[in-house]
Structure 1
């Protein structure tokens, strides 16, 4: 099986600080891609915010995080996390999407993105938001 799940924490402007803190607690390595790095700047004041980040440790610790841009609704305690489902096989991710999406609110259709062969976001009928994507190695 090629799928893993990871808690994906959502912040507004402090994701890098949070990732660095979690790394100081749990160890591991921080990777952070800013909106500027990804060429996805909607607001110049948010260019250095984290669009995608993670801490991964040899001890098994793994958490992902990003800064919700100001054009999206966000408040601390509302939508504080996503469950990230990453896989290496597009057919497997697509099949999971087809089972998860009916009856859910599609926030981002499953389709190719600049950073992944497939990426989509859906909030299920229980209020849990799932991010599904096909993982690719980070080349930054």
Structure 2
């Protein structure tokens, strides 16, 4: 079995995943509602929203989509952000930890600064500018 985090955005999926791809690398695949086989069923003003995006990093994936305003399956367009979950990254060095932390924190909010803890060489928590909560945990110097 495989578990893959799937995030939901309100029109920011393209920007968020473009940024994550810049910071994390990997392979990025993105599809808009306009590219769907029955695109005409979606409101024209929302067809450039992301229907599905996948960032593949080795054996791991992070996926997402944008909500479609007014769709009951998407909360009826009452998007409240991403809550109750964090994406945890485990870089192999302090330098990589700092690079990722700084990049994700840009325009966001630091919850706990990246620092040495009793369980890790570096650990920090933040919410990025897209509302996604991240934890950076570097266990090795």
**Bigger strand fraction:** 1
- Asked which structure has the greater RCO (Cα within 8 Å, sep 6+), the reply is 1
Q: Provide the TM-score with structure 2 as the length reference.
A: 0.49
**Bigger helix fraction:** 2
